[in-house]
A and B are shown apart, each in its own frame.
Chain A
Amino acid sequence: MINKFVPDLQTAIADVHDGAVVMLGGFGSVGMPNQLIEAVADKGVRDLTLIANNAGAAFGGMAVLLQKGAVEKVVCSYPRSANSTLFVDLYREGKIKLELVPQGTLAERIRAAAAGVPAFFTPTAAGTQLGAGKETREINGKLCVLEQALFADFALLESWEADRFGNLTYRLAGRNFNPIMAGAAKTTIVQTQHIAGPEGIAADDVMTPGIFVNRVVHIPYGDPVL
Chain B
Amino acid sequence: MPDTLTPIKTLTREQMAARLAQDIPEGWYVNLGIGAPTLVANYVAADREVIFHSENGLLGVGPAPAPDKVEPWLINAGKQYVTLVQGASTFDSAESFGIIRGGHLDLAVLGGYEVAENGDLANWSTGANDAGPAVGGAMDLGAGAKQVWVLMDHTTKSGQPKLVERCSYPLTALGSVTRIYTNLAVIDVTPDGFVLRDAAPGLTFDDIQARTGATLRRA
Interface positions of A (Cβ within 8 A of B): 27-30, 53, 56, 77-80, 87-88, 91-92, 98, 100-108, 110-111, 122-130, 143, 171-180, 223-226
Contact = CB atoms under 8 A, between A and B. Distances in A.
Given A27-B56, A30-B73, A124 B94 contact: no
Contacts of B134: 56, 77-80, 100
Given A98-B133, A124-B101, A176-B56, A111 B94 contact: yes
Contacts of A127: 171, 173-174
A28 B55 contact: no
Given A104-B97, A123-B101, A79 B140 contact: no
Given A177-B93, A224-B72, A78 B56 contact: no
Interface of B: 55-58, 71-77, 79, 81, 84, 90-94, 96-98, 100-101, 125, 131-140, 143-144, 170-174
A102 B135 CA distance: 6
A104 B171 contact: no
A173 B90 contact: yes
A106 B56 CA distance: 13
17 contacts: A30-B74, A30-B75, A79-B133, A100-B133, A100-B135, A104-B140, A106-B93, A107-B94, A126-B143, A129-B171, A172-B90, A173-B57, A173-B75, A174-B73, A175-B57, A175-B92, A225-B72
Contacts of B136: 77-78, 102-103
A39 to B, nearest CB: 23
A102 B92 contact: no
A122 to B, nearest CB: 7
Contacts of B133: 79, 98, 100
Given A53-B93, A77-B136, A111-B94, 9 more contacts: A27-B56, A110-B94, A123-B143, A173-B56, A177-B92, A177-B93, A180-B93, A226-B79, A226-B81
Majority-rule SS of B interface residues: loop
A113 B133 CA distance: 25
Contacts of B57: 27, 173, 175-176
Given A127-B171, A127-B174, A104 B101 contact: yes
B174 A143 contact: yes
Nearest to A56: B134
Contacts of A143: 174
A28 B101 contact: no
A220 to B, nearest CB: 14
Nearest to B136: A78
Contacts of B79: 28-29, 226
A105 B138 CA distance: 11
Contacts of A79: 132-134
Contacts of A173: 56-58, 73-76, 90
A162 B163 CA distance: 52
B34 to A, nearest CB: 10
A98 B84 CA distance: 34
B100 to A, nearest CB: 6
Contacts of A171: 73
A104 B73 CA distance: 21
A176 B93 contact: yes
A29 B79 CA distance: 8
